[in-house]
Amino acid sequence: MNTLENSSKTGVKNLWKEWDEIHQIHTTIFSTDTTIKSDETNSFFKKINIMDLEKRKEVYGVCGECNEPGTGWCWCQSCNAKRFKENFKNWTSGNKNIDELIQQSQLDALHTFKCLEWIPFEKFKNVTYITRGGFSKIYSADWPEGNIEYWDIENQEWVRELNVKVALKSLDNSSNMSNDFLNEIKYYISGHFSCVNTVICYGMTQDPDTQNYMMVLQYYESGNLRNNVMNDLVEYKIKIPYLFWIIDGLSAIHDAGKVHKDLHSGNILVHRRLILISDLGMCQSVNDNERKGIYGVMPYMAPEVLRGYQYTTAADIYSFGIIMNELMSEEIAFNDIPHDRTLAVKICKGFRPKISEDTPKLIGNLIIKCWDAKAENRPTAKELFQLLRNYFDELNEEVGEIYSQIEECEKIKENKLKNRTKENKPKNLQTHPQAIYTSRLLNFKNLPEPVNSIDYLSSFQEPISSTSANPISERLNYELSELDLNQDDIF
């Protein structure tokens, strides 16, 4: 059964309860100063001690060897660091930079998911090619030995999660090792990003045939969001939580002073009832302007980025707006036209995907705000986080305008499905051969100045511009202005 379909049957209340429990665990694990700069990784790990020792003892218990409070579930950082260090002489990747990265992660790891390993390729079974991304190839594999979970003091050995299925991500020409490759791994294990909302990296290996290095990542059976959005059985009451989880992950990235730079539905993975952000290889500091050229998937790229301007957090928000609309409409953005210069010109002139008539108006107007032609008019991730959290709460309590709108939209959607069934019309799944959904280098010259359009909306409401009087849009402006942006008080 499709994961999103399965989730819709559980009900939004169960989803919220489950997510809230996971978030509480995450909050406890990462109870540290979130203002630490990205280049202070080592000091970040040292600051675990700002969590009260008694609190750590209560949550994680006491280490059976050193009698100090644990730093994670069945994990003592200082004792495990000694064990790892003693084992450094027994392995090597053949690359000094990779060895140092893995060793440092093992010394610093506060819990198992921040601990990398060097995994010889022969440890994997049933290696199978899955797909190609913009700069990498993805394989699935079985890992019988599995990842480290904790140290068994009585038997003096690592306890592992056996028979783990993993994804192997091989970056092109990584035998030469690029900073992008190393940076992506650093971001996966960084204390800045949530283990709930970003993909787990178990370690690294090397393809013996190509000599390319490969990241060993958690495998997600349900694939990416793009492969799931065409599912007609997904209720809107479930879609709102998924949007919330995506913006929660993106907010963590932005709070760390980073931009994702390649956010699209192919990089959003579905795992049971959770949504996770992947492909952090292009993730960079907000002020990092060194990368030459424009990389990305065109339908998700903000007009200012297409014109060659610096990628900002506001550009990530534009991408999120496109993802929001895909999930709501269950249509892939611009899947029926070529992704060429003509489309880039049209995007700069205000061309956007259609907003379905069965999209709640509050969400539809929020989508419009996210893909505003002017970056400064787009909401921040933190604003979106709190607004979607409010909607999530209203759905959970079955109150409020968003709940009423979704009830109406479910009826519209149900009628559409009935009519399609009567007419025996399958959903259009055709994609134009020149619609490219992998990241690539783009180079467009002399694109027009970005403007908003009044022509891209469907019949879900009267066409509006960003300056037109519109009650729903005005309410969103009010809600955004009234938000208390102290995120620490939310949970």
Residues 210 and 230 both lie in one domain:
no
For residue 155, being part of any structural domain is answered with yes
For residue 384, being part of any structural domain is answered with yes
What is the C-alpha separation between 145 and 161, in angstroms, rounded? 7
Q: What DSSP character marks residue 48? A: G
Which parts of 11-143 fold into alpha helices (H)? 12-29, 41-46, 53-60, 77-87, 96-108
- Which has more pLDDT, 298 or 428? 298
Residues 349 and 304 both lie in one domain:
yes
pLDDT at 196 over 60: no
Q: Among 14-18, 364-368, 387-391, name the one with the lowest average pLDDT.
A: 14-18
CATH of the domain at 167: 3.30.200.20
Residues 182 and 259 both lie in one domain:
no
Secondary structure of residue 146 in the 3-state scheme: coil
Residues 243 and 127 both lie in one domain:
no
- Which has more pLDDT, 278 or 76? 76
Residues 303 and 256 both lie in one domain:
yes
Q: What DSSP character marks residue 222? A: T
For residue 307, being part of any structural domain is answered with yes
For residue 353, being part of any structural domain is answered with yes
Report yes or no: 160 and 148 within 8 Å, Cβ to Cβ: yes
Q: What is the structure's pLDDT at 414? A: 84
Q: Among 126-130, 190-194, 289-293, 436-440, name the one with the lowest average pLDDT.
A: 190-194
Q: What is the structure's pLDDT at 166? A: 95
- Indicate the pLDDT class of residue 30, thresholds 50, 70 and 90: very low
What is the C-alpha separation between 32 and 23, in angstroms, rounded? 15
Residues 308 and 169 both lie in one domain:
no
What is the C-alpha separation between 309 and 288, in angstroms, rounded? 12
What is the C-alpha separation between 149 and 160, in angstroms, rounded? 5
Closest C-alpha among 144, 166, 280 to residue 217: 166
User: Over pLDDT 70: what percentage of the chain?
Assistant: 70
- Which has more pLDDT, 229 or 385? 385
Task: Output the CA torsion 459→461→462→467 (10° steps).
Answer: -130
The two tokens of residue 449 are 């100045």
- Which has more pLDDT, 470 or 424? 424
Residues 276 and 177 both lie in one domain:
no
For residue 430, being part of any structural domain is answered with no
Residue 138 phi/psi, 5-degree rounding, is: -120, 130
Residues 163 and 184 both lie in one domain:
yes
pTM as predicted: 0.76
- Which has more pLDDT, 437 or 468? 437
Q: What is the structure's pLDDT at 297? A: 94
Residues 30 and 173 both lie in one domain:
yes
Residues 274 and 414 both lie in one domain:
yes
Most confident of 17-31, 266-280, 320-334, 403-417: 320-334
What is the C-alpha separation between 326 and 113, in angstroms, rounded? 31
- Structural domain count, the chain: 2
What is the C-alpha separation between 70 and 77, in angstroms, rounded? 7
- Indicate the pLDDT class of residue 114, thresholds 50, 70 and 90: confident
- Indicate the pLDDT class of residue 7, thresholds 50, 70 and 90: very low
For residue 86, being part of any structural domain is answered with yes
Q: Which residues pair with 205 in a beta bridge?
A: 214
Domain, as residue range, for 253: 225-418+435-442
The two tokens of residue 344 are 């880039």
The domain boundary, picked from 184, 218, 252, lies at 218
CATH of the domain at 383: 1.10.510.10
Q: Could you write out the DSSP letters of every residue in 285-339?
A: ETT-----SEEE-GGGS-HHHHTTPPP-HHHHHHHHHHHHHHHHHT--TTTTS--
Closest C-alpha among 176, 134, 435 to residue 293: 134
Residues in CB range of 287: below 8 A, 6 or more apart: none
- Which has more pLDDT, 425 or 321? 321
Report yes or no: 211 and 196 within 8 Å, Cβ to Cβ: no
Q: Could you write out the DSSP letters of every residue in 454-474?
A: SSS--TTS----TTS--HHHH
For residue 357, being part of any structural domain is answered with yes
Residues 202 and 233 both lie in one domain:
no
Sheet bearing 201-206, strands edge to edge: 117-118, 201-206, 213-218, 164-171, 136-143, 125-132
Give per-residue pLDDT as tens, 216-238.
Answer: 998 988 788 888 776 656 677 78
Residues 196 and 251 both lie in one domain:
no
Tell me what the mean pLDDT of segment 285-300 comes to.
71
For residue 8, being part of any structural domain is answered with no
Task: Output the CA torsion 363→464→379→13 (10° steps).
Answer: -10
Secondary structure of residue 266 in the 3-state scheme: helix
Give per-residue pLDDT as tens, 436-467.
Answer: 998 888 989 899 999 998 665 543 443 333 44
The domain boundary, picked from 156, 190, 218, lies at 218
Q: What is the structure's pLDDT at 229? A: 72
pLDDT at 1 over 80: no
Tokens 């994997």 sit on residue:
124
Tokens 């409020």 sit on residue:
400
The domain boundary, picked from 201, 218, 235, lies at 218
pLDDT at 68 over 60: yes
- Indicate the pLDDT class of residue 293, thresholds 50, 70 and 90: low
What is the C-alpha separation between 78 and 61, in angstroms, rounded? 15
Q: What is the structure's pLDDT at 471? A: 42
pLDDT at 45 over 70: no
